[in-house]
Chain A
């Protein structure tokens, strides 16, 4: 079981050029020798052009279905008339819902890691992590309720919700790998929480623009909890990292 200290131990990492001077010397025979020459060799243009050509030709990830209830549909219709795009708001609500649900599962994995390394973080109780986890669930339910209020379907995976899965793939891999330490896990949670906090800020602004002041107020409460999450996770991560440094 790799503790945070063990994960920074000295050992036989073989990835660098200095692992074997003889092999490295042979390897360098294929590299450019004179690094003071201008960078005539680097040409990102061809690659950029191929990307641009695909971007111009690309279809979007998908769409947002219209609200299904009459009340919601009427509301959406009204906003469309005034130039506001309720579906953009629904898309971001879908994103937040996906993120908070995924966040709860990220904490489930982090709690397992924490329990396996319980002695590493003195003064921190697993209940604190469980509380954050439960708040992520509560936030997901809050967003679900808001989507329903707008007459939309909370089970839809909107384009931005879909992208949450792509964006957080690495975070989940980092936390669920048994070989990563508690410090690695907290570092990953911190990244997740920082993104989360910024997501709520945008959502509050959008809710206000949509004239949904009650919703905005509830989102503000959620954002405050998220700020606490950032504060706590950052504190644990820093404590553990500094402590690990001292131990080494």
Chain B
């Protein structure tokens, strides 16, 4: 039996407090913690950053709720800080990038399998194969620029191999828009899965836009520019799955429920007891937010929050290697392309996407250049060269 959303009152808002020392607490160990602990940290930073972003956007379009939005947003911001500061400074930006792509692959694959709506599940598999390719390109970059093995971060949970080649992922905007779910008929899990992926991809986009210019090497600067562009497409894609007719309070409630769901999933799977205690605390905070927003919904819309998000959380997100699912998807769907909101075969791709990317790639393709002839090997491809000396 999963968590009942409204049985537990959660932590009241006025008791959701932090100190600077708590926000900048002890980080996880890059070397000793399980890779999925880092996956959870990155994912939850994404969930929190989406929350802050959404609450700001909501405040710009609504005067009535600005105070409650500001009150909850302050807490969300500090929750994000506490979570994001768990990443240790011994992660280079490129190592953190490998972590981000591991999140994209493992979480998208997990959600694709638990998604009851076939069209949304197809969309997740479509995006999955693109992020899978990004991992391969970044692993090549890491090997060839920093001399490091990406598997030190991945801990053998996630394959490093080509997916749908990044060079052909560039599409005209109209081919990135998808059909939204229907707020009246979609299951709560469908609404939450879409939000989770919007959150994960949006933070990945923002992260690449932030760290890309920190690199001196033009090879890295180009690759980050290229993959950030795909992340922008992915945000467009996943965002378009959200029903735009949902009211502001409905969307807010859904965001809070999704945060609770993600933290609940983290609590269920976290082996590091110190980090698990943080997930439990954050879950209690989110349940407090959910109750708070639920009351707003009852007052302003005269609606029962249960009708939007159900009584109980869905089964938790599994944080484990989805290798076999990814491989099977790759084998079957790597050649799919997008025509408007529909998925079509390679030959049927619209000319608008082909024209767009032909120009973008006309002075060279960063993702092809960095990984030309690259095959991942334990301990970097230099070990392979040593054998041939």
Contacts and interface: CB of A to CB of B under 8 A. Distances in A.
Interface of A: 11-17, 19-20, 23-24, 26-32, 35-36, 38-47, 49-51, 54, 166, 173, 177, 179
A41 B156 contact: no
B90 interface: yes
B206 interface: no
Interface string B205-232: 0000000000011110010000000000
A184 to B, nearest CB: 11
B388 A38 contact: yes
A47 B374 CA distance: 12
What is the predominant secondary structure among interface residues of chain A facing chain B?
Answer: loop
Q: What is the predominant secondary structure among interface residues of chain B facing chain A? A: loop
Size band of the B side of the interface?
Answer: 35 or more
Contacts of A29: 159
B369 A41 contact: no
Identify the 8 closest CB pairs spanning chains A and B, nearest first.
Answer: A23-B156, A43-B373, A54-B218, A15-B152, A27-B156, A30-B161, A46-B372, A46-B369
B156 A26 contact: yes
Contact of A20 (B30, B89, B156, B216): B156
A89 B304 CA distance: 75
A16 B157 CA distance: 12
Contacts of A30: 159-161, 375-376
A179 B26 CA distance: 9
Given A31-B377, A54-B218, A14 B33 contact: yes
A41 B217 contact: no
B88 A14 contact: no
23 contacts: A14-B31, A14-B35, A15-B153, A16-B152, A23-B321, A27-B378, A30-B376, A31-B376, A35-B377, A35-B387, A36-B387, A41-B373, A41-B374, A41-B375, A42-B384, A43-B373, A45-B372, A46-B368, A51-B217, A51-B219, A177-B88, A177-B90, A179-B88
Interface string B82-104: 00000011100000000000000
B388 to A, nearest CB: 5
B95 to A, nearest CB: 11
Given A24-B156, A44-B144, A46-B369, A51 B384 contact: no
Contacts of A166: 216
Contacts of A20: 155-156
Nearest to A22: B156
B112 interface: no
B300 to A, nearest CB: 47
A60 to B, nearest CB: 14
A211 to B, nearest CB: 36
Contacts of B12: none
Contact of A17 (B27, B89, B156, B375): B156
A43 B159 CA distance: 21
B281 interface: no
Interface of B: 27, 30-35, 88-90, 144, 151-153, 155-157, 159-161, 216-219, 222, 321, 323, 364, 366, 368-370, 372-378, 381, 384-385, 387-388
Contacts of B33: 14
Contacts of B373: 40-43
B378 A50 contact: no
B385 A39 contact: yes
Contacts of A35: 377, 384, 387
A42 B380 CA distance: 11
Contacts of B160: 27, 30
Contacts of A32: 375, 377, 384
> Which residue of B27, B30, B372, B374 has the most chain A CB atoms within 10 A of its CB atom?
B372
Nearest to B154: A27
A24 B154 CA distance: 11
Contacts of B30: 15
Given A14-B32, A30-B160, A46-B368, 6 more contacts: A15-B151, A15-B153, A23-B321, A27-B159, A40-B373, A54-B218
B147 to A, nearest CB: 12
B289 to A, nearest CB: 32
B368 to A, nearest CB: 8
Nearest to B368: A46
A26 B325 CA distance: 13
A84 B284 CA distance: 70
A190 B151 CA distance: 31
B326 to A, nearest CB: 11
A95 to B, nearest CB: 18
B89 A173 contact: yes
Nearest to B35: A14
Greatest chain B CB density within 10 A among A16, A47, A49 is at: A47
